[in-house]
Structure formats: structure tokens, C-alpha cells
């Protein structure tokens, strides 16, 4: 049997990794500024993470959500504290799309409504509701197009107000910083207006922090730069440093009922051990602050070139937009300088490095880019 051929692949076969570095099957070392698509938060194979996960695996790896699992409560308590959302509750699942699916469902249960406002260039995942609120018709099958979704321009407060005033909106969903759509940072004024308007019109504000959250932008959640508190926050990617794990933080205004949400694998022992180890390392090694500082360093030291159109982002979520296709630059970074980078569209190099990237490692990229320009 062959694999269903849906991914464009780097011509690299990683066999080993440590921190921000990866080695391929020929022994070549690479610098990882992509983090497996913003998933590696504390760095590859961190010794504490490996120890905690291995230890958990030798005790119990899985049971369903029909028994007591104190690791889930520990994670909820720790996450509440570190994120500043101690009064919220946590529902655990397995991926970003699933987190958004649960958030949209919860908003619809709560309001009794079904229309959702999303934004141009958004990406929220590939399952039914998540892909329906994603602004990319190419990845929506006819089956996904039955949802009621209105796409508006980012930062267009007036348009949001007009739509909300119609009274049929269950939720507004927005990324803390748009990732796959090309690192677009909403303005603080817009985010504050979204908060006020959703409250005024009794719609739920969902912050998708799947890519921008978990310390990546230099605050625990990107929306914390704007000083707002959404009703639901969705998470995945960096949460367990590569072990599949997702979750949503839910404001106290939502009432849980038995069976309202559920999942087989969500909150399993291994995912919980991994997620707890991630928080241990993030706190011990001050990784949120490191992401902030090294991000500022990169932004301040990027080479000046008329080939670059604009640079956007924060912390370990940076987009360098060029006037032309970045394919040759990314290829040279990979082949000649052995640096993994991400992409958004055709003209943007996207940096999604682990939060533990050092300034010296950032220099390796900055020097390579300077030579290439």
C-alpha cells in the first residue's frame, strides 16, 4: 500500500533531534526554525519531557474518560495559573481542528444560534466546522459548505458591528495572530472592539490560539497583548511538544452538562504527562520571555533589502514577506545552510522556531539570510 499523497515534503529524513536541532539519516545537522509547524515549544527531546513521558508510559498510558485521572486536574490547575485564567474550565481533546470544533459547538449550544463570523485569510483546521470558518475554498468540500459563515476583513470593526446587529450570530472566531494566512496581526483597537461588540450582542468570542498561543508570541496567549479576555480559547500545537493534545479554556458563563462534549483519546495519561512536562520546562527555563527576547532580536537584526516587502509578527511567530516567491531562498536555506523554515503563501518565509531558540542560533539564520540577499 502507498500513502495518500497529500503533503509536499522536504527532501530530508530526520532521525534524531535535540533542542532546536535535527539530524537526518546521513548525519547532517539542521537548525529547526519551523518547529514541525509551531508544535515544538520546549525544544526537541528535552530530557525532562523524555523522562516524564517514559515514566508515565511504564505506569499507565491510556484509559478512557470514564475513570478519575488526576493528571487532568493537575494540568487544569497549572494551566489556569500560568495563563491567568484560573476561573475558566478546561476541556481536553486531541488537535487544533477538534478544539475549534468543540468551541464552535459550545458557542452554538450556549446561544442557540448557528451563524459564525470569521475573517479573511483565517485558518482554523480541516474538520467540518473548522474548515467552514477557514477562508480557503480549495480545502472545503461541498459537504463543508452547509455551515452559515460570514467572512469579514480583519480590523473592519464597522462590518463586524453590522453583522452582529442582525442578532443571529453564535460566535466570532479569530486567531491571536493569523498564521497560515500570512502572519497578520490584528490591531489592539479592533480586538477590544470585538470584545465589546460580542458582549453587547450576546455572541461568543472564540480566540484561536492554536498557533499563536502557548508562549509563542512572548505572552502566554497572543490576545493578552491586546488586554482582552475572550469567552473560549482554543489550543493544541505547542501544548504537549509533539504529543497529540488539544484543549479549550471555557469562561465561567458556560454551563457543562454530562455528555455535552466528549472524546475517546482527549486527556489521556501520556498527553497529560507531556503537557505537564511542557509547563514545567516553560516555567523553569523562562521560555515565554525567551521567545519574546529572541523574537525582538530577530526583528531588530533582519537584513535590510529591497527584496523584502514587509516583516510582521512577534516572538517566535515571524513572517518575512518578499516581493517574489520565496521558494529559491527556502531551498538555499535548507540545502546550503541546513536551516528549516516555514512558508505562508508563495512570498513569505515563516519562522515558527521552538521557544528555546538562542540568539546564537538566530544569528546563524540572520547571517545566512544576509548572504542570500
Ligand X SMILES: Cc1ncc(COP(=O)(O)O)c(C=O)c1O
- The distance of closest approach from Cβ of residue 35 to ligand X in the complex, given in angstroms and rounded to an integer, is 12
d(CA 223, CA 277): 24
The rounded distance, in Å, linking the Cα atoms of 78 and 1 is 44
The torsion region of residue 216 among left (phi > 0), alpha (psi -120 to 50) and beta comes to alpha
CB atoms within 10 A of CB 2: 4
102 touches ligand X (CB under 6 A): no
Q: Is 180 in the site for ligand X (CB under 6 A)?
A: yes
Q: What's the grid cell of residue 137?
A: 475554498
By CB under 6 A, the count of residues binding ligand X is 15
Nearer to ligand X, 97 or 357 (CB): 97
216 lines the binding site for ligand X (CB under 6 A): no
User: Does residue 271 interact with ligand X by CB under 6 A?
Assistant: no
CB of 100 to ligand X, least distance (A): 6
104/368 with CB nearer ligand X: 104
| Stretch touching ligand X by CB under 6 A, among 12-20, 49-57, 90-98, 142-150 | 90-98
What is the footprint of ligand X within residues 220-259 (CB under 6 A)?
Answer: 236
Residue with Cβ nearer ligand X (19 or 179): 179
d(C-alpha 102, C-alpha 96), whole Å: 10
Interface mask (CB under 6 A) for ligand X, residues 113-142, using x and -?
----------xxx-----------------
Neighbours of 358 (CB within 10 A): 14
Q: Which of 32, 101, 163, 175 binds ligand X (CB under 6 A)?
A: 175
The least distance separating ligand X from the CB of residue 120, rounded to whole angstroms, comes to: 14
Per DSSP, the residues of 123-163 read ---SSHHHHHTSS-GGG--GGGGGS-EEEE-TT-HHHHHHH
340 scored as a contact of ligand X (CB under 6 A): no
Asked if 209 contacts 235 with a C-beta cutoff of 8 angstroms, the reply is yes
Closest CB to ligand X among residues 177, 326: 177
Closest by Cα among 95, 231, 228, 257 to 172: 231
Residue closer to ligand X, measured from CB, 123 or 365: 123
Residue closest to ligand X when measured from CB atoms: 96
Nearest-approach distance from CB 261 to ligand X, in angstroms: 16
Say how far apart CA 342 and CA 363 lie, in whole Å: 17
- Tell me phi and psi for residue 210, to 5 degrees: -65, -40
Which is nearer to ligand X, 96 or 218 (by Cβ)?
Answer: 96
Q: Is 208 in the site for ligand X (CB under 6 A)?
A: yes
CB-CB contact of 194 with 174 (8 Å): yes
The torsion region of residue 246 among left (phi > 0), alpha (psi -120 to 50) and beta comes to beta
Measured from the CB atom, the residue of 17 and 344 that comes closer to ligand X is 344
Q: Which residues bind ligand X (CB under 6 A)?
A: 37, 95-97, 100, 123-125, 175, 179-180, 208, 210-211, 236
Amino acid at each position: 500500500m502507498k500513502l495518500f499523497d497529500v503533503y509536499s515534503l522536504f527532501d530530508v529524513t530526520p532521525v534524531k533531534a535535540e533542542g532546536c536541532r535535527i539530524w537526518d539519516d546521513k548525519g547532517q545537522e539542521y537548525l529547526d526554525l519551523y518547529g514541525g509547524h509551531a508544535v515544538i515549544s520546549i525544544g526537541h527531546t528535552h530530557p525532562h519531557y523524555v523522562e516524564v513521558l517514559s515514566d508515565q508510559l511504564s505506569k499507565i498510558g491510556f484509559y478512557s474518560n470514564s475513570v478519575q485521572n488526576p493528571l487532568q486536574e493537575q494540568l487544569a490547575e497549572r494551566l489556569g495559573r500560568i495563563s491567568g485564567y484560573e476561573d475558566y474550565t478546561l476541556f481536553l481533546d486531541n488537535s487544533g481542528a477538534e478544539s475549534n470544533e468543540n468551541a464552535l459547538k459550545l458557542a452554538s449550544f450556549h446561544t442557540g444560534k448557528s451563524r459564525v463570523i470569521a475573517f479573511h485569510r483565517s485558518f482554523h483546521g480541516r474538520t467540518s466546522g473548522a474548515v467552514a470558518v477557514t477562508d480557503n475554498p480549495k480545502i472545503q468540500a461541498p459537504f463543508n459548505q452547509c455551515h452559515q459563515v460570514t467572512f469579514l476583513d480583519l480590523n473592519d470593526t464597522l462590518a463586524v458591528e453590522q453583522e452582529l446587529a442582525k442578532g443571529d450570530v453564535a460566535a466570532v472566531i479569530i486567531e491571536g495572530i493569523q498564521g497560515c494566512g500570512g502572519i497578520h496581526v490584528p490591531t489592539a483597537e479592533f480586538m477590544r472592539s470585538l470584545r465589546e461588540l460580542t458582549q453587547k450582542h450576546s455572541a461568543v468570542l472564540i480566540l484561536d490560539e492554536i498557533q499563536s498561543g502557548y508562549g509563542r508570541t512572548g505572552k502566554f496567549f497572543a490576545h493578552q497583548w491586546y488586554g482582552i479576555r475572550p469567552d473560549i480559547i482554543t489550543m493544541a500545537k505547542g501544548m504537549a511538544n509533539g504529543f497529540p493534545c488539544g484543549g479549550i479554556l471555557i469562561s465561567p458563563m458556560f454551563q457543562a452538562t454530562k455528555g455535552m462534549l466528549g472524546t475517546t483519546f482527549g486527556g489521556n495519561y501520556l498527553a497529560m504527562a507531556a503537557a505537564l512536562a511542557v509547563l514545567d520546562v516553560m516555567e523553569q527555563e523562562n521560555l515565554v520571555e525567551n521567545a519574546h527576547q529572541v523574537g525582538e532580536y530577530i526583528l531588530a537584526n533582519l537584513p535590510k533589502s529591497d527584496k523584502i516587502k514587509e516583516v510582521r509578527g512577534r516572538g517566535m511567530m515571524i513572517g518575512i514577506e518578499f516581493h517574489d516567491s520565496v521558494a529559491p531562498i527556502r531551498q538555499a536555506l535548507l540545502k546550503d545552510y541546513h536551516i528549516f523554515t516555514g512558508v505562508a503563501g508563495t512570498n513569505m518565509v515563516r519562522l515558527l522556531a521552538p521557544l528555546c531558540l538562542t540568539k546564537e542560533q538566530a544569528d546563524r539564520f540572520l547571517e545566512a539570510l544576509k548572504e542570500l540577499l
